Chain A
Amino acid sequence: MSPWGNNLTLLGNPENRRITEFAREMSERGLAPPRCVSYLDFLRDPSCLAGDLVRIDSPGENEEVASELAGARLQPGQIGRLREYHAGFCALLQRVEARCLNAPRDIATMFDKWACHERFVQAGLPRPRSEIARDPFTRPAGRVFLKPLHGSSASGVCALRWNHRRVELTAPIELAPDGLFNSLRVRSYTKRAEVERILGELLPQGMIVEQWIPKLTLPGGAVDLRVLVIAGRARHRVVRQSRHPMTNLHLGNRRGDEGELRSALGEERFERALELAERAAACFPDSLYAGVDILIDTAGRSLIGEINAFGDLLPGLVHEGETPYGAILGACLDPSRPV
């Protein structure tokens, strides 16, 4: 597999469509089938990766891997032990000695929202005002986003608004007697006791508190932009549109119309949003690709929402004739690209 070597190994959960789809994309390009190393095998014997070129994919959606990383078994969908899980994943990443499309230490940082925030701010890139979250109710009123430092896919993300009379927490969270669970439905909690229970569970696991940026709204809802940056270039993107504060597409939201966004924003501002995604990805120079979420405020200005190490699962998107996985492979195979 010139110029990166002759073969590619995928580190992931083999049953996951991320792995099966990437392998399919390789066979469609006439490439030799990749070796797939499962996280469970790697956890047993890290040396099985040595010497290869590796694409590290998500360890998610596998209960057994999750309990290995978090050091305890959680119930399916439970939001818990996020610090332990992150520590376990970082320790695993440190044991990866092979060359990788995305450097393990970049991936570790991308799963730390505070470290990412500091990196972006130091690079002079626009980000919502943020802090490490403590008890928000020490302020008399406010409107903020609270995000787990080490979460993904909107898991545990809370939109919180309160004043001296009322509180409302909106989140894809189900509050059950035995803990918090991811919910595909975004729910609204208005009882103080419930809100305090949710935050009482989440805050000790580490959260970042972000200024709530009012998002640009098009017919059908507020929008943001997911941009897949590959080899420094903004490639595939998807407008995510929502009637509630979370735009993640698995939460009942829909893909918005890029043409509508471009005309609302103007070409220049749209280009600036894509440039910002490229500059965000450039803060991780040892990574070939990353998914960057760009927030666009009501005045049309772009800010970095977050960067996602595994933000390339964008089924059905095509850019310049390539799927996201095809474009990543294309960048691997590009002879002009330095290894």
Chain B
Amino acid sequence: MQAIPFEAFGTVPTEPDIFNHCQRFAGFPVEDYDPTRSGVVFRFSSEYDEDHLVPDLEAFMQSPAAATAPAVVIGCWQPDDSSEPPDKVIAALTAGRSHLPALTAIYLGDVVREECEMSWINQSDVSPLLEAFPQLQYLRTRGGEGLALGSPRHQTLRALACEAGGLDASFIRSLAISDFPNLEYLELWLGTDDYGGTATVADLQPLLSGKLFPRLRYLGLRNAQIADEVAAAVVDCPLLQRLEILDLSLGVLTNTGAEALLKLQSPSLKRLDLHYNYISQDLIGRLEALPLNVDASRPVTMDLSEEYRFVAVGE
């Protein structure tokens, strides 16, 4: 079983990437499923006029290519209907587990806005995937509605990323009782309370205490309406003392949060990702003077007027 390079866990680095299907996943180029091709990771998706995701996936799992497939990308499973969770996809994958012996990475929800806005994606309890693939290293999901980890434990999982317009507090709390001893990378999109993002800084405390995830190197608390509060809570949390990368990108991070981040002190921290922010130029300059690799870039299309301060994805 090949180890996924740590750098390959960041699948949606910048705001414009949210609106396009991933080109690479877990270090591999991604192509739409084509039974005549090999050597790439396939993306299985239904289209607005044809619901062929599960049949494609089943056909693939019966083919010889499945035996060496390192990753699977699942796209849109609910073309017109906003009420369907991916239960059939999860059932197909778990039923076909024996055909996917090399699978180390799953993206459940490479669904772009034009197909289904993030807050309209219906998710599910994804822990059956953890149970079915004991060698999994990387699980990425998109969509907060219905997302759950009923049984949050896995021995080899190295990266967990949950993109959402809002993550429910109960989901964050389920991580506090989780058992992921090898987790190196944790990316959570907190979102806004308009779209089910109910987690508060208090719900994050168990993560920030440093008592969980002994191998964690990257923490992403992204797309957060409460980015300023998150920044204030993170600067002096025990976990920071062993993190390498702190990612507060895509949220409503303003001068208040930036002031807090100026006090960052960590022997291990190498990189601070603040891409897509509402910080003044002056403070950006001071952050960039920190002895870290600081990314305070903004997409060219970003609206900085105060009345429109909003997370990158809340829809």
Binding site for B on A (CB under 8 A): 140-143, 161-164, 166, 168, 188, 190, 211-217, 219-222, 243, 297-299
> Ordered nearest first, which 8 A-B pairs have the shortest CB separation?
A214-B114, A141-B83, A163-B83, A163-B82, A214-B115, A141-B81, A141-B82, A215-B114
Interface residues of B in 96-154 (CB under 8 A from A): 112-117, 120, 122
Question: How close is B144's CB to chain A, nearest CB, in angstroms?
Answer: 13
In angstroms, Cα B195 to Cα A168, docked, is: 12
Interchain residue pairs with CB less than 8 A apart (23): A140-B83, A141-B81, A142-B80, A142-B81, A143-B81, A190-B194, A211-B48, A211-B49, A212-B48, A212-B80, A213-B48, A214-B48, A214-B114, A215-B114, A216-B114, A217-B114, A219-B20, A221-B19, A222-B19, A222-B114, A297-B47, A298-B47, A298-B112
**B16 touches which of A211, A220, A299 (Cβ 8 Å):** A220
Question: A191: shortest Cβ distance to chain B, in Å?
Answer: 12
Check B2 for interface membership: any CB of A closer than 8 A.
no
Chief secondary structure at chain B's binding surface:
loop
Contact between B301 and A220 (Cβ–Cβ < 8 Å)? Answer: yes
Please measure, in the bound complex, the distance between the C-alpha atom of A143 and the C-alpha atom of B122, giving whole angstroms.
14
Chain A hits for B80, CB < 8 A: 142-143, 211-212
- Which residues of chain A are within 8 angstroms of B48 by Cβ–Cβ distance? 211-214, 297
Q: Which of B19, B20, B83 contacts A164 (CB 8 A)?
A: B83
Residue from A142, A190, A221 within 8 A of B82 (CB atoms)? A142
The A-B contact count (CB < 8 A) is 60
Determine whether the beta carbon of A298 is less than 8 Å from that of B115: yes
Chain B residues lying within 8 Å of A190, measured Cβ to Cβ, are 194
A221: B residues at CB distance < 8 A: 19, 301
Q: What is the chain B residue whose CB lies nearest that of A221?
A: B19
Chain B: CB-nearest residue to A142: B80
Cα A141 to Cα B49 with chains together (Å): 16
CB atoms of B113 and A162 under 8 A apart: no
> Least Cβ distance of A179 to chain B in Å?
25
B122: A residues at CB distance < 8 A: 163
6 new A-B contacts at CB < 8 Å, known A164-B83, A298-B47: A163-B122, A188-B315, A211-B49, A213-B48, A214-B114, A215-B114
Complexed CA–CA distance, A265 and B112 (Å):
18
User: Please, which residues of chain A bring their CB within 8 A of the CB of B113?
Assistant: 217, 222
CB contact list, B47-92 vs A, under 8 A: 47-49, 80-83
Query: Is the beta-carbon distance between A243 and B301 smaller than 8 angstroms?
Result: yes
Closest residue to A243 on the B side, CB-wise?
A: B301
Describe A's contact surface by its main secondary structure. Answer: loop
> How far does the Cβ of A299 sit from chain B's closest Cβ, in whole Å?
7
Cα-based distance from A102 to B285 in the complex (angstroms): 60
Do the beta carbons of B301 and A298 come within 8 Å of each other? no
Residues of B contacting A140 in the complex (Cβ-Cβ under 8 angstroms): 83
> A217 and B112: CB pair below 8 A?
yes
Which residue in chain A gives the minimum CB-CB distance to B16?
A219
> Which residue in chain A gives the minimum CB-CB distance to B111?
A214
A-side contacts of B115, CB under 8 Å? 214, 298
Residues on the A chain within 8 Å of B315, using CB: 188
CB-CB nearest in chain B for A223: B114
Contact between A217 and B20 (Cβ–Cβ < 8 Å)?
yes
Is the Cβ of B82 less than 8 Å from the Cβ of A162? yes
Whether the pair A161, B82 counts as a contact (CB closer than 8 A) is yes
Most buried by A among B48, B112, B122, B301: B48
Chain B contacts for A220, CB-based, 8 A: 16, 301
A168 partner residues in chain B, CB cutoff 8 A: 120
B301: A residues at CB distance < 8 A: 220-221, 243
Most chain B beta-carbon neighbours within 10 Å: one of A142, A164, A219: A219
Q: Contacting A217 at CB < 8 Å: which of B19, B81, B82?
A: B19
Q: With A211-B48, A217-B20 in contact, is A143–B82 under 8 Å at CB?
A: yes
Q: Which of these, B19, B20, B47, B116, contacts A299 with CB under 8 Å?
A: B47
How far is it, in angstroms, between the C-alpha of A212 and the C-alpha of B114 when the chains are bound? 9
Name the A residues within 8 Å of B194 (CB-CB).
190
CB distance from A313 to the nearest CB of B (A): 25
Q: In the complex, how many angstroms separate the beta carbon of A136 from the nearest chain B beta carbon?
A: 12
Nearest-CB distance from B305 to chain A (Å)?
12
B120 and A161 form a contact (CB under 8 A) = yes
Give the complex CA separation of A162 and B16 in angstroms: 26
A76 to B241, CA, bound (A): 61
CA distance A164 to B120 in the complex (A): 12
Residues of A within 8 A of B19 (CB): 217, 221-222
Residues of A close to B114: CB separation below 8 A: 214-217, 222, 298
- Chain B residues within an 8 Å CB radius of A188: 315
Best-buried of A161, A216, A222 by chain B (most CB within 10 Å): A161
Cα A220 to Cα B16 with chains together (Å)? 7
Q: How does the 8 Å CB contact mask read for B18-39 relative to A, with 1 for contact and 0 for none?
A: 0110000000000000000000
For the complex, give the distance between the alpha carbons of A221 and B19 in Å: 7
Q: How far is the CB of A249 from chain B (nearest CB, A)?
A: 15
In the bound complex, CA of A222 to CA of B315 (Å): 15
In the docked arrangement, what's the CA distance between A16 and B113, Å?
38
Q: What separation, in Å, do the CA atoms of A164 and B82 have in the docked complex?
A: 9
B71 to chain A minimum Cβ distance, whole angstroms, is 21
* A166 to B121 CA separation, bound complex (whole angstroms): 12
CB distance from A202 to the nearest CB of B (A): 21
**Chain A contacts of B16 at CB under 8 A?**
219-220
B55 to A: closest C-beta gap in Å: 17
- Chain B residues with CB under 8 Å of A222's CB are 19, 113-114
The distance in angstroms between the C-alpha atoms of A168 and B16, with both chains bound, is 23
A143 to B83, CA, bound (A): 11
A298 to B112 CA separation, bound complex (whole angstroms):
10
Q: How far is the CB of A143 from chain B (nearest CB, A)?
A: 6
